[in-house]
Amino acid sequence: MTDYDVMIKAENVTKSFDGFKALDALELTVRKGSVYGLIGPNGAGKTTFIKSLMGIYRTDGGNISVMGEGVYENTPLKQKIIYISDDLFFFTTYSIKEMAKYYAEVYESFDWEIFEKLGSIFKIDVKRKCRRLSKGMQKQVAFWLGICTKPEVMVLDEPVDGLDPVMRRNTWAILLQEVAERGMTVLVSSHNLRELEDVCDNVGIMFNGRVVLEKSLDDVKGEIHKLQIAFGGGAMPDELAKELNILHSSKFGSVQTCIVKGDVEGIKHACGAHSPLICDILPLTLEEIFIYELGGMGYEFENILI
Amino acid sequence: MNLKTYLFDKATVKSDIKRFWWVPAIFMLLLALFVLPRAVYSIDTGVSIDINHMSDEGFFALMFGFFLPGMLFSYLHKGNAVSFVHGLPSKRTTIFISHIFSGLIMLYLPIIIGGAVIGAEGMYFEGHIHYALKYMYTCGVYTTLAFMITTFAMLISGNTVAGYLFSLGFIILPGFAVTFTEAILSTNVFGFLRFEKDIINFIYLTFIDEVCTWKSLWYIALIIILFFVCIWLYRIRRLENYDEIVAFNPLKIVFMYTVAICFGYFGYVIFYDITDINALFLAVLPLGFAALIAAYMLNKKSFTFKGVLKHMIIFTALIAAVKITIAYDLTGYERRVPDVSELASISPYDEDAESTYYQYYKVNKGEAVYANKGYLLIHPIDVSVKDEKTMSELISIHKNILERERSMFKAHDENDNWDSNIKLVYNLKDGKHITRFYRFKLSDYDDCIAPYYENEQYKLAHYPLMNGVKKNIRYVTYNSPVFADPLELADMDRDKLEEALKLDIASLTYDTFREERNSYNSGEYITINYTEDIDCEGRTYTYNNSLDFTLNREFKNTYALISDYMADHAGKYIDLDSFKGIYIAADPYYEDYETGEERYETEANIMNKGEMKAVFDALRTNSQYIDESIDNTEMREVYITFTRDGGSQYGQHKTHIFKPYNQIPPEIRKYLKETKPEKTVHAGTLG
């Protein structure tokens, strides 16, 4: 990836709150025109990173740049970035139209034509007060206004939380259209991994203030697989177990299910040498990748019985 | 860099005005309802505006200046709002200045409109807009200062309510600190003088006609300083600290100890007021600890005691240090008596005499009128003692006072018998001043202190009549205990009277000062109302004053003039024949619970016309009477009532005298017991 391709770059970013390290030497790179999914457990530091990226928080160390420039107090650069937070804010007395006027004054590239066009999609009366709208409708308004500013970078924190399924699809469709047509870059933080799986080009998994995995979704998926295997003798031969990079293993009857890192052909070849009765290699969902990756770092799913 | 876009964001200003337009609207409405009608009326009618009412305008300006920043900067105290505002493409400085700009527009607009209305009225009726300018200037200063103080408070806090409380705290803190420091020091430091000038009024600009004084420039300077401090704070503020009581970590500890100290000493003063027990260390701790713990918990945002013990120990050590410093005079303040070689002069003041006779001059924009609190006070006369011998004597008296009174003060034995308040100002050669203030019983220092009350300089300082400035006497009245009303001495030779008074004052003795101190009252007094021109700070001010002189046996020359005058004005006395009797009451009184009447230990009803005449004549000349053969000088108060037929209250003439026993004329004295009886409990009183 050349520097020209990089839209967002975070290098060795640290940020502490009262001694607690929310970001710890964080490294992250987002390609221009890509959709980057930032995922991680609660408290991993995703929102802190996003607010630092937006120049809301000042970092304690390191560097965050967008298009090669620091964002903090960089007004021209911030004209090109839109941030839609999980916890939205609108001026108390403002209607959608008034908020749009405010955005139009703040953002030089605000496009009223797009505003009118999107009005037919979102179908919300522009005279309605923003604060009186439901959470889902407020999210729609935030997208609506954000898209109208024609940003080069859109930073989304839990973007579709609260949207109904139809509006989710609409929203993603609009976003992806902007990515496709204008080369807009999207950094999205969400816990809805199923949805991210459909839209993201790249993912970064954050844990304890660091990005512990950052790859294209295809690479991630090509690296980790679910292996369902059974042998005549019952148990998996020890040699095979040592040969495979098994992240997680469970057994149900004679079928052993393993989460294995490695390419499909290599796994197939290793398994074939031990003549298994059954050998299926299945792709993993992003959610499974998330769980098994973090499982190895001590953030594990527990079978809790109360 | 485009400075205009760097400093000013149109969208922010428009949004502020759009959201908070109702603030100036209410401000304008209040001005229209409460201020403009009175101001317009006063201009229309030419009636001067009551200075106390003018503070209303300041109040509204202050109030709105106080409240508005809480609304403008409340987004700093909410996570989503602060993310939204600072996620927008604007610099911090731009955002801050834009809010300040929009806030001031909203505050100034009603003031300017109000000023324009008053100005138009002023132009129409009086041909000038002087008052309108004063009005706009005052309100502008008030509102901007309050606005900047609250802005500062909102920036250092992460919570809007706390921000308002801090702002209120900043506004009242100087007054609180001065009041409580005075209260604490005056009850614990021997010789401490309550701040000479009314420092509260010195700090707070309170009246509209003060705005053009230099004090308002301090306010403007403070506004400018606060503005730049606030910009700096806004730039360095950690926006993640919303919801914190104090948004800047280093200030949390300052907040905690300030709150603890304020509440601690407040507790001490209240405890002292209630119990009269002066426990500077122990009485501070309960409220101080409570406040410290509360502030600690607020800082931590948790009901936790973990870690607070360390701060309680530090707080205790601080209070103990203050207590020890004061108790053992570690600063040497109490024992400090300058050596005569250090001194240029000493200015001794008798505060009680000052309050009786002395008037301050107020200097205010070319007019010298009656002194009021909060104005520049000057002494027109230098009362300094400069010769080494006298200075050495005064230093000896000072040392004597220290030796005798300090231990009593330290033991908190209040010694309520003191009747004198003496202030000593040492003017050092290096230009500095040392001021001490003592209370004591004058008679304990008779031997050494008497000469200072009899010397010319003291009289010069305490009687404006003696200050050598030509007096233009406007009127003189004389009152006698047997006058129905004071008599204006219209056709008396005023120059002669002035001369006579001066002669008498010059010969007044220490004894009469002591009697004055004990509220001597002969019922005979002269009031002189005059104007004089006083030179002060290179300007001449015309000053109007009224002086009362209670006549005593030493006002011989004055009394002689009055006697001559009264020989031709006998008709002014009450008509003795129209009264049926005289009732004389003296000494302690009690209330008879059975009848509900006030009764005196000594009572007499005189019905005999001859005896009544004797009492009447004795009252006429009582100021001059003294029987040197009687040693009893105990002060006695006698109430005398000339009664009508049937005991009717209507038309009675009441008077009273308060004099040493040996100065009460025998015609009245004979009704008194020689020794003042103790207050007794009568059967009726137990009811």
Nearest-10 crossing angle of helices A165-182, A112-122: 150
**Residues of A whose CB is below 8 A from B84:** 85, 88-89
Contact assignment for B82 to A56 by CB distance below 8 Å: yes
Domain extents in chain B: 3-160+213-240, 340-460, 464-564, 574-686
Three-point CA angle A265, A266, A271, nearest 5°: 100
How far are the Cα atoms of A79, A139, B400 from residue B449, in angstroms, in the given order? 83, 87, 11
3-state secondary structure of B522: coil
Q: How far is B104 from chain A (nearest CA, A)?
A: 20
Specify the pLDDT at position B51.
Answer: 37
Which DSSP category does B241 fall into?
Answer: G
Q: What percent of chain B has pLDDT over 70?
A: 83
Q: Quick one: tokens of A51? A: 């607010």
The better pLDDT of the pair B311, B440 is held by B311
Specify the pLDDT at position B404.
Answer: 86
Q: Is A55 on the interface with B (CB under 8 A)?
A: yes
Say if residues A139 and A159 touch (Cβ distance below 8 Å): yes
Of A57, A83, A91, which has the smallest distance from its Cβ to B19's Cβ?
A91
Of A88, A92, A98, which has the smallest distance from its Cβ to B80's Cβ?
A88
Of B18, B81, B89, which has the smallest distance from its Cβ to A75's Cβ?
B89
How big is the A-B interface in CB pairs under 8 Å? 67
Q: What is the CATH number of domain A221-295?
A: 3.30.70
Q: Quick one: tokens of B538? A: 């290179």
Q: Is A98 on the interface with B (CB under 8 A)?
A: yes
Contact assignment for A88 to B92 by CB distance below 8 Å: no
* Distant-in-sequence, close-in-space partners of B29: CB < 8 Å, separation ≥ 6: none
Q: How far is B166 from chain A (nearest CA, A)?
A: 23
Specify the pLDDT at position B46.
Answer: 56
Nearest to B199, CA basis, from B168, B220, B174? B174
**Residues of B whose CB is below 8 A from A79:** 89
Of A17, A18, A83, which has the smallest distance from its Cβ to B87's Cβ?
A83
Q: Residue B55 and residue B586: Cα distance in Å, rounded?
A: 47
Specify the pLDDT at position B416.
Answer: 63
What's the average pLDDT block by block, 10 residues per block, for chain A (306 residues)?
78 91 93 91 91 93 92 92 92 93 94 92 90 91 94 90 84 90 92 84 90 84 85 81 84 85 86 86 81 70 54
* Distant-in-sequence, close-in-space partners of B313: CB < 8 Å, separation ≥ 6: none
Q: How far is A182 from chain B (nearest CA, A)?
A: 21
Which pairing describes strands B433-440 and B420-428: parallel, antiparallel, or unpaired? antiparallel
Q: How far is CA B313 from the centre of its chain?
A: 38
Mean pLDDT of B665-683: 79
Of B83, B88, B240, which has the smallest distance from its Cβ to A106's Cβ?
B88
Q: Quick one: tokens of B102? A: 């929009």
How far are the Cα atoms of A151, B129, B139, B141, B211 from residue B135, in angstroms, in the given order? 50, 10, 6, 10, 9
Question: Does B676 have pLDDT greater than 50?
Answer: yes
Mean pLDDT of B3-25: 85
Contact assignment for B83 to A102 by CB distance below 8 Å: no
**Residues of B whose CB is below 8 A from A88:** 80, 84
Q: Where are the beta strands (DSSP E) in B261-406?
A: 343-350, 361-364, 367-369, 377-378
Contact assignment for A78 to B87 by CB distance below 8 Å: yes
Q: Residue B24 and residue B71: Cα distance in Å, rounded?
A: 13
Q: Residue B54 and residue B49: Cα distance in Å, rounded?
A: 7
Of B90, B92, B239, which has the smallest distance from its Cβ to A57's Cβ?
B239
Weakest mean pLDDT among A139-148, B377-386, B559-568: B377-386
**Residues of B whose CB is below 8 A from A56:** 82-83, 86-87, 239
Q: How far is A123 from chain B (nearest CA, A)?
A: 24
Contact assignment for A54 to B14 by CB distance below 8 Å: no
**Residues of B whose CB is below 8 A from A75:** 89-91, 94
Q: Which residue of B has its CA nearest to A22?
A: B240
**Residues of A whose CB is below 8 A from B79:** 87
Specify the pLDDT at position B197.
Answer: 58
Q: Residue B248 and residue B76: Cα distance in Å, rounded?
A: 13
The better pLDDT of the pair B85, B373 is held by B85
Q: Residue B305 and residue B374: Cα distance in Å, rounded?
A: 46
Q: Is A54 on the interface with B (CB under 8 A)?
A: yes
3-state secondary structure of A43: coil
Q: Quick one: tokens of B473? A: 């006497």
Q: What is the pLDDT of residues B461-506, one digit of tens each?
A: 677 788 777 888 889 999 999 998 899 988 888 889 999 999 999 9
The tokens 């993993």 sit on which residue? A284
Specify the pLDDT at position B379.
Answer: 45
Q: Residue A186 and residue B184: Cα distance in Å, rounded?
A: 65
Q: What fold characterizes domain A3-208?
A: Rossmann fold (3.40.50)
3-state secondary structure of B546: strand
* Distant-in-sequence, close-in-space partners of A150: CB < 8 Å, separation ≥ 6: A109, A110, A111, A114, A182
pLDDT band at B339 (very low <50, low <70, confident <90, very high): very high
Q: How far is A75 from chain B (nearest CA, A)?
A: 5
Of A17, A75, A106, which has the smallest distance from its Cβ to B240's Cβ?
A17
Of B82, B89, B239, which has the smallest distance from its Cβ to A78's Cβ?
B89
Domain extents in chain A: 3-208, 221-295
Interface test with A, best of B4, B7, B15, B160 (most A CBs within 10 A): B15
**Residues of B whose CB is below 8 A from A58:** 238
Which pairing describes strands A35-39 and A202-207: parallel, antiparallel, or unpaired? parallel
* Whether the complex's predicted ipTM surpasses the cut of 0.85: yes
Interface test with B, best of A87, A110, A154 (most B CBs within 10 A): A87
Contact assignment for B89 to A73 by CB distance below 8 Å: no
Interface of B with A (CB under 8 A): 10-11, 14-15, 18-19, 75, 78-92, 94, 238-240, 249
Say if residues B421 and B348 touch (Cβ distance below 8 Å): no
Contact assignment for A89 to B81 by CB distance below 8 Å: yes
Contact assignment for B87 to A85 by CB distance below 8 Å: yes
The tokens 């020989």 sit on which residue? B567
How far are the Cα atoms of B118, B135, B139, B498 from residue B130, in angstroms, in the given order? 10, 9, 14, 41
Other beta carbons within 10 Å of B177? 16
Amino acid at B409: F
Mean pLDDT, chain B, rounded, equals 83
**Residues of B whose CB is below 8 A from A83:** 83, 87
Amino acid at A96: I
